[in-house]
Structure 1
Amino acid sequence: MVQNAAELHRSSIIIDAVCPLLDNQDMIADYCAGGLTAIAPTVGYWNGAQVTLRTIGSWHKLLRERNDLVLVRTAADIRKAKALGKTGIILHFQGPEPIEDSLDLIDAFKALGVGVMQLAYNVKNRIGDGCEERTDAGLSRFGLQVITRMNEARMVVDCSHTGIRTTLDAIEHSTAPVIISHANAKAVHPSPRNISDELIKAIAENGGTIGVVGYPGFVSGDKRPTLDQFIDHIAYMCDLVGVECITLGIDYFGGQSPYAENEMAMTMYKKALACNQWSAAAYPEPPYYFPAGIETPVGMPALTKRLVERGFNQADIRKIYGENLLRIYETIWGG
């Protein structure tokens, strides 16, 4: 079984769709060691266009200097990366602040390779409400225009961290599938950042996907969640809406163990609370230990082995690992 799992891992296209750990570009090495095919650095958070352009520029410089990396603009780029033994880089915004108040910036960032943009990050913005906002008012007039322009520019609409009504509005208005790149099932663990069965079904019915997260506060109430607790979210959502709708958005980040000392992690945590990016209800205090066995991206083969042991067949694991997102990317970005 171990040999079969190892070969399955080696031969699969594996995409982690949310990788804020890559704020430190040196961490690409850990993803490569874990056998990842394509990874998605968060190149836009809460800053405007100027700061975000500098971040994207640093990634384009790295891509120019390193022959082992490929900028992903289409699904074919990921397949090419796998065939050549390279690593695909998917540029991802966790929030719309980089576009400021300009629809034209959507086209500008798309031209620079940004393929995915979240509509909110926990709180209200010009587009709509985040998932931890006091209200849940849905898309604004500007938000409706953003969805239309993202569809026209062929940029993936991501409703992670986004309010329920805002997400349902996005699904209704979008002409392309809407995804949730990283969220777990609220029925398995009732974090405010996890999503209800209703929302999981709505995303699935619109042809979208939901990525399972390893951030411990979204996996379970345990400080050190187990690999099985992580897989429980995969199994639950597969049973609810089908394996074709489930992906990976593990969300490794620089504030977790072993990348951050406890003091540094606590400083980052207090800053996130102070500026309302996070709430204590959804984000417990550090330290943060990702599920045992996959504490870092290096451990990803352990997930493959345990999925096989849990009874997932090879075809389904390949879908969860990469084929489901490839379908989304091909639909929206092109082959």
Structure 2
Amino acid sequence: MGCAEKGLHEAAIIVDAVCPLLDDTGKISAYRAGGLTAVAPTVGGWQGAEVTLQKIGAWHKLLRERDDLILVQSAGHIRMAKETGKTGIIFHFQGPEPIEDKLNLIDAFKALGVGVMQLAYNVKNRIGDGCEERTDAGLSRFGVQVVERMNQARMIVDCAHTGVRTTMDAIEHSSAPVIISHANAKSVYPSPRNISDELIKAIATNGGTIGVVGFPGFVSKDTRPTIDQFIDHLAYMSDLVGTKYITLGIDYYSGQWPYADDETALKIYEKALADNSWSPKAYPKPPHYYPAGIETPEGMPVLTERLLKRGFTEADIRMVYGENLLRIYESVWGEQR
């Protein structure tokens, strides 16, 4: 890595908006080694309020005990993390199960620091349909109320894993930008989890962002995708709507190589199939190798180097790495420190 690339990587604010790997908080060090400024652990999404509260409580205990971490509740907190060399922690729900059927829980979780919530995780719930559901119904009456309450509570509406019509309805009913924290371009690789040009344009038109994801089944048909195949999605979406609307949601997780051996990875996979949260069509069997060079968070400097070689400018890279999400965060959460 040359001096110019190293200088850009060290100077940029870098946010990975989807980090289920941080179920193991010991992996924070991997993100720090990769130069990440802020990361978004999945603190809930698939379980009810009680279990989720315990998980959030454990995170608050960790934040109290470690002075190298900052709970992110505003754009200013991320800038402060960069200035002080600390790591910003963004609480993210990958689904709405924690709010059960109670709108007041949105405000309760927001008060605890949850800043982003997905409306679905692949399948139908009381709010609307997931992207792998048999039907493609839109927001329910309750779903409209959820979006409105999230706007009032200043919680970001995330339509990753969410059905097309539900996403379009969320855009229509939301008074704040709707994001898709992690999805790739269906025109580049037609996974059921990837999104169409129409949806990419709709998110950009509403002022939101789309995060490029590294899960191999969403990148290409290859078992071991290349870093250029990952960048192909970023480049395609940037060409379609402009780099201003593209971010990172790489989605490293504990069942991928090298964190899980083949036997453990297969057990995690089979459980996800049995739970009906994953399908074989969208999620190939493990082992899951993330794009070469960025197989783990420590490899992030390689992405900077390769983006420059692909013709992205320093300004482009800074936008994708953090400035685009900071715009959303400032708009919804505010700038205060």
The TM-score range, normalised by the shorter chain, is over 0.9
Q: Which residue of 2 aligns with 1:31?
A: 31
Partners of 1:38 and 1:46 in 2: CA distance: 23
> When the two structures are superposed, what TM-score results if normalisation uses the length of structure 1?
1.00
Alignment of 1:1-335 (within 5 A): 2-335=2-335
Following the alignment from structure 1 to structure 2, what is the Cα–Cα distance between the partners of residues 321 and 301? 12
2-side partners of 1:181 and 1:72: how far apart? 16
* CA deviation string 1:95-122 (max 9, x = no partner): 0000000000000000000000000000
Query: What residue identity is the alignment partner of 1:230?
Result: F
Q: Tell me, in whole angstroms, the C-alpha distance in 2 between the residues paired with 1:331 and 1:161.
A: 23
Structure 2 residue matching 1:253: 3-state secondary structure:
coil
User: What CA distance in whole angstroms lies between the structure 2 residues aligned with 1:4 and 1:237?
Assistant: 26
Distance 1:165 1:45 in 2: 21
Q: For 2:116, what is the secondary structure of its paired residue?
A: strand
Q: In structure 1, the residue corresponding to 2:285 is in which secondary structure?
A: coil
The one-letter code of the counterpart of 2:308 is: V
Q: TM-score, normalised by structure 2?
A: 0.99
- Structure 1: which amino acid aligns with 2:239? D
For residues 168 and 2 of structure 1, the distance between their equivalents in structure 2, rounded to whole angstroms, comes to 43
CA distance in structure 2 between the aligned counterparts of 1:89 and 1:124, rounded to whole angstroms: 29
Please give the alpha-carbon distance, in whole angstroms, between the structure 1 residues aligned to 2:229 and 2:6.
Answer: 22
Q: Gapped runs of 5+ residues in structure 1? A: none
State the Cα deviation string for residues 175-197 of structure 1 (Å, max 9, x = none).
00000000000000000000000
* Superposition deviation, residue 63 in structure 1: 0.3
What does the per-residue CA deviation read over 1:3-28, in whole Å, with 9 as the maximum and x for residues that have no partner?
11111000000000000000000000
Gaps of 5+ in 2: none
| Aligned counterparts of 2:153 and 2:118: Cα–Cα separation in 1 | 15
Deviation at 1:45? 2.4
Shift of 1:308: 0.5
Distance in 1 between residues matched to 2:46 and 2:161, nearest whole Å = 13
Query: Which ranges of 4 or more aligned residues in structure 1 deviate by more than 4 Å?
Result: none
User: How many corresponding residue pairs?
Assistant: 335
- Cα-to-partner distance string for 1:10-55 (whole Å, 9 max, x where unaligned): 0000000000000000000000000000000000021000000000
Task: Return the alpha-carbon distance in structure 2 between the equivalents of residues 125 and 265 of structure 1.
Answer: 27
- Kindly, what percent of the aligned residue pairs are identical? 74
One-letter code aligned to 1:229: Q
1:92 counterpart SS class: strand
Aligned equivalents of 2:137 and 2:164: distance in 1? 9
* 1:2 Cα deviation from its structure 2 partner: 1.9
How many angstroms apart in 2 are the aligned matches of 1:47 and 1:208?
27
